[in-house]
Structure 1
Amino acid sequence: MQRYIEAVEKSHTDKMRFKSFQLRWFKPGSIAVMIGKKGTGKSTMMLDLCHAIRHCPEVVLFQKTIETNDMFKGVVPELFSFKIWDRKLVQKIIDRHIRQNKKRMKAGKPVKYLTMIIDDQAGDEKFCKDPLLSDLFFNVRHYKLNIIFTMQYSLKIHIDQRAQIDYVFMMRENIIGNRERLMQHYCGQFGSGKKGYADFSKVFDKFTEKIGGCMVVKNSGISNDITKNVFYYQSVMRNFNEDPSLPRWRMGSRAYWAFNNRFYDPHWDSSEEEISDEIVIERTGKK
């Protein structure tokens, strides 16, 4: 992958040079949002980031599509993969995670992080307005979570929630109105008016000209230098279910998978599930 891309004129005599984003920069306790329609490589990007943080010991997945379900087979334990956002179940998962970390701190052990993957749930208006979703966005670090959130349109997240996002991955978009909203919501560094939008468009088109290419905005940056807050990234194929020649990998610790293999029931009803404190995962390891 190129180290730099020269994408837009900064003045009449020089160009801005944008660096490639490094997935290892993703810090525990962060929120990554991926925005893109079908066919733009959003799912590939999501799986690539999941691969980068695969050693996080615990993970839960909320997915609505058959495509996502098939993609995560063998990656996320079936016991912790859910088709819909069940508010009561999510609250139980968070409460248990907090209790377990309190026990670990009391015993002098380091806390654990839980990766929560929320894929294309934003089409449900009830989900978007769920106070629990806002609570997770505002308290992601306190709760010791990693959140990967995907959606097709930028309007689905409330302005207060957008302020909590650490990384925004924006895939190719050809609708002018949607592009303008992407710039307004996440790319104010380019300025405003016709000049700002023109500069944004040049960079955005350059970054997203290939499927899986995206613009990455680092909201947690403290520099006013646009090249330290805006990056490009070309996602890497990690879907071994689609391409068996790719190496297999998985998210979560060995003990997490052992628990899944012991208790997973394909006929399980989430509405009857109790999240037990007896589910204690101590070990981590490379997969």
Structure 2
Amino acid sequence: MFSPWYRWSGRRDPENHVCINVATYGPGGRFAMTDRGRSALRQTGTRFEVGPSRLDWDGRSLRIAIDERGAPPLFGRILGEIRVTPAAVTDVELPLTADGAHVWRPFAPVSGIEVDLDAPGWRWRGHGYLDANFGLRALEADFSYWTWGRYALPGGGTACFYDADRRDGTGLAHGARFLPDGSAEEIALPPRRPMARSLWRVRRETRGDEGSRPRQVRGMLDAPFYARAMVETVLDGQSVTGVHEALDLDRFASPLLKPMIALRVPRRRRWRFGD
């Protein structure tokens, strides 16, 4: 959805603009997102394959085999495997617009993850997450701004908050708690709490108890229109840490930004599978 090549094509043929986006953080971190043509796409009910990388679902876990090249300015190969094992798969879907043109699908908000990539420090196990967004229109056509946050809770559950400003003047405000057994419930929303802006001055806010001051613990991805970070906030009197993102779609809609993004998202039209 962030590919400038897809936008320049008129958004007529999504299967001719496919990507597997990989980002690693910390020392030696890399970002890879190559826009590939139709010949690079193969998919079945349990496999999604784009060029040299693929995702396989075996009924219990999602195996992500990665073979990508880092985008400028930090070149380098990203090679290895990630395995995400859900504690349970939910049946939750959240329409983000009144007509259901955009939907958030949190498949497995509570998961285990095993990372085994071919670089020092990129092998670890921890707490993972799996979700997806589906849309029939461009995000910038229906939204001007949104934030999303996922925070691990004591006891093994997780809380997610989705807030957005729609182009029609309405807003989205949703909070949910997910438990390891796959059950979910809506939760009362704590107030929006402001945060410091990102390095690119993207406005940021998240949910937190009245009087709390959410703060960035670690920067992860910083772009002119998007920021992702580990954030600490306070929920029900307890300090929690999670992943937060803020997306300025007014900035993303600017045609002046597309060439900048294209430098980080190269286009590769042709691909030939070896088997």
TM-score for both structures, normalised by structure 2? 0.30
Higher strand residue share: 2
Larger Rg: 1
Structure with the bigger RCO (C-alpha within 8 Å, sep 6+) is 1
